[in-house]
A = this chain, B = another copy of it.
Amino acid sequence: MSEKPSILIVGAGAIGSFYGAILKKAGCSVSTVLRSEYDVVKEQGIRISSSLGDLSYRPDHVYRDGETPEDYPDYLILCVKVLPGVDRVALVKPWMGPSTRLVLIENGLDIERELADAYPDHPLISCLAFIAASRTEPGVVEHKAYGKLVMGRYPEGIDDHCRELSDLFQAGGIGIDLTEQVVGERWRKCLWNTPFNPLSVIANGADTRTILDAEGGEALIRAMIREVMAVAEAEGYPMDEKLIDLNIEGTRKMPPYKNSMALDYLNGRPIERDAVLGNVVTIAERHGIPVPHLNTVLVTLRMRAKLAGED
């Protein structure tokens, strides 16, 4: 391919801004669609400090959410949080040209389905980001560590679009694991996220060490991981029991930290409850698999949301 494909980032928070910068570095034209940060990015671009060096850039176009596009992008990369109030199908609609490929860099399980159903003729690439990055102020992102993407065609396989995008990300300086089974990779990531993230929220933002060291804490996490595994297996993704030990040991080796959902909660931001937990419980119910520990945490979060007038 002689000319580099054009990229549109929808939802340029920390994640979207960072991966946009990588593709910009790889020589793509990179535009953004913004809501609240439109003015500041339009004026000063996106500033990113990173261990990879200064990744600041000016998007080729800065669109306001709701605007009409000048051109349709080759790849539309969606990086918004998966929340009940966010209609992702509507959000990308104005920007989906006839040959636009849709790329998700988002957390959680079973988050592709509604987009795949809405845009059946567009290739859908699903990605999991392993990255520590945060938006420190409007238009400013701090990339702290990591950055690898696990990527595959949804619901399965690896196609030329995946390969092209993977080459571009790698040219920009980050690692990509292409996978034939991206949904299986989501289950694997949820083995950790689904227990730890929501539990840390109802435990008032507890860090990993507090969760594991409280009396009965490690046993509870193990029981929750086992529940996620049972559901994954029913979905066709059996996993090795040893992953439980590996997840616990890996967590114990790291310094205590608060996961992103705990931080969202502590900072008054909405949490991806259903993407990370609710969808797992729904799938479990479909298979008739009991998940009492996961369900207790989920329903508690729903009570909190109802109390706050959010549900």
Q: Which residues of A contact B (CB under 8 A)?
A: 199, 202-207, 210-211, 213-217, 219-220, 223, 292-293, 295-300, 302-308, 311
Contacts and interface: CB of A to CB of B under 8 A. Distances in A.
A214 B214 CA distance: 28
Contact of A203 (B204, B214, B307): B307
A299 B215 contact: yes
A112 to B, nearest CB: 23
5 contacts: A203-B300, A203-B303, A214-B299, A215-B299, A220-B299
A307 B215 contact: no
B213 A306 contact: yes
Contact of A303 (B214, B293, B303): B214
A304 B203 CA distance: 5
A305 to B, nearest CB: 8
B292 A223 contact: yes
A85 B298 CA distance: 31
A247 to B, nearest CB: 17
A216 B295 contact: yes
Given A202-B202, A202-B300, A220 B295 contact: yes
A9 to B, nearest CB: 33
Nearest to A205: B307
A207 B308 CA distance: 12
Contacts of A298: 216
Contact of A215 (B214, B215, B311): B311
Contacts of A295: 216, 220, 293
Contacts of A292: 223, 292-293, 296
Which among A205, A219, A296, A305 has the highest number of chain B CB atoms within 10 Å? A296
Nearest to A281: B216
A296 B223 CA distance: 10
Given A292-B292, A295-B220, A199 B300 contact: yes
Q: Which of A214, A217, A220 counts the most chain B CB atoms within 10 A?
A: A214
Nearest to A303: B203
A206 B296 CA distance: 15
A180 B204 CA distance: 42
Question: Nearest 9 CB-CB pairs, A to B?
Answer: A203-B303, A292-B292, A296-B296, A216-B299, A214-B303, A214-B302, A220-B299, A214-B306, A206-B307
Given A202-B300, A206-B303, A220-B296, 14 more contacts: A199-B303, A203-B300, A203-B307, A204-B304, A206-B304, A206-B306, A206-B307, A207-B307, A210-B303, A211-B303, A214-B305, A217-B302, A217-B303, A293-B296
B220 A306 contact: no
A285 to B, nearest CB: 10
